[in-house]
């Protein structure tokens, strides 16, 4: 990096500063561990740094960097001998934060939601996590993933429709099972 022109070095560090916290938040939901998250995100930025000159020539370098992040998360999951199941820890954290009278109901609902979310396409799942799990706007998510905002809105709309169908089926099945046991 010391041999890089100043403008290249500044652009890399600006990219790093702009993306690091978002990458950390997303990776944590996938890994559930501060140490694993830090390792995956550091490895991501090491890879990005190694390819930064080529990435500057890309039309959508954000999308390329996002793909690197996703691969580093999968590498970290394999390294810790975990099955890549997104947001597995988030269901339990959501239930703990639930202020309802019965935390068990909140846990069951959270697990049902995350189970349905796992059945979405990878792109839809990423956008659901970013927009609904982490509170990003469609504009922010589009910038982070290197997509057009309209593409993000379209994927989110499709994901919400699919989730509604999946959740309807899950809750119908649970109701049917409850009737059989009574």
- 84 vs 118: CA distance, rounded Å: 10
Residue 53 has pLDDT above 90, yes or no: yes
pTM for this prediction: 0.75
Which pLDDT tens digit goes with each residue over 147-159?
A: 999 999 999 999 9
Q: What is the mean pLDDT of residues 161-172?
A: 76
- For residue 123, CA distances in Å to 43, 53, 104, 145, 149 come to 22, 26, 30, 10, 14
d(CA 39, CA 90): 19
- Domain ranges in the chain with CATH number 1.10.10.10: 88-181
- Architecture per CATH, domain 6-79, reads as Orthogonal Bundle (1.10)
Burial class (CB in 10 A: 0-12, 13-18, 19+), 127: buried
Higher pLDDT among residues 174 and 166, named by residue:
166
Could you name the CATH architecture of 88-181? Orthogonal Bundle (1.10)
pLDDT of 6 > 60? The answer is: yes
What is the predicted pLDDT for the residue at 79? 87
Span(s) in the chain for CATH 1.10.1740: 6-79
Q: How confident is the model at residue 166, as a pLDDT?
A: 82
């Amino acid at each position: 990096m010391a041999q890089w022109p100043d403008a290249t070095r500044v652009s890399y560090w600006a990219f790093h500063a702009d993306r690091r916290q978002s990458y950390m938040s997303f990776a944590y939901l996938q890994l559930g561990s501060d140490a694993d998250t830090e390792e995956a995100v550091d490895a991501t930025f090491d890879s990005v740094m190694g390819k930064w000159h080529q990435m500057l020539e890309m039309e959508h370098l954000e999308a390329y960097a996002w793909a690197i992040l996703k691969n580093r998360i999968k590498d970290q999951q394999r390294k810790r001998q975990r099955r890549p199941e997104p947001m597995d820890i988030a269901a339990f954290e959501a239930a703990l934060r639930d202020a309802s009278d019965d935390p068990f109901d909140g846990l069951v609902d959270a697990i049902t939601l995350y189970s349905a979310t796992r059945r979405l396409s990878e792109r839809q799942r990423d956008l659901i996590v970013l927009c609904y799990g982490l509170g990003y706007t469609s504009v922010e998510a589009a910038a982070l993933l290197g997509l057009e905002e309209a593409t993000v809105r379209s994927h989110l709309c499709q994901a919400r429709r699919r989730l509604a169908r999946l959740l309807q089926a899950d809750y119908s099945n649970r109701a049917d099972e409850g009737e059989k046991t009574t």
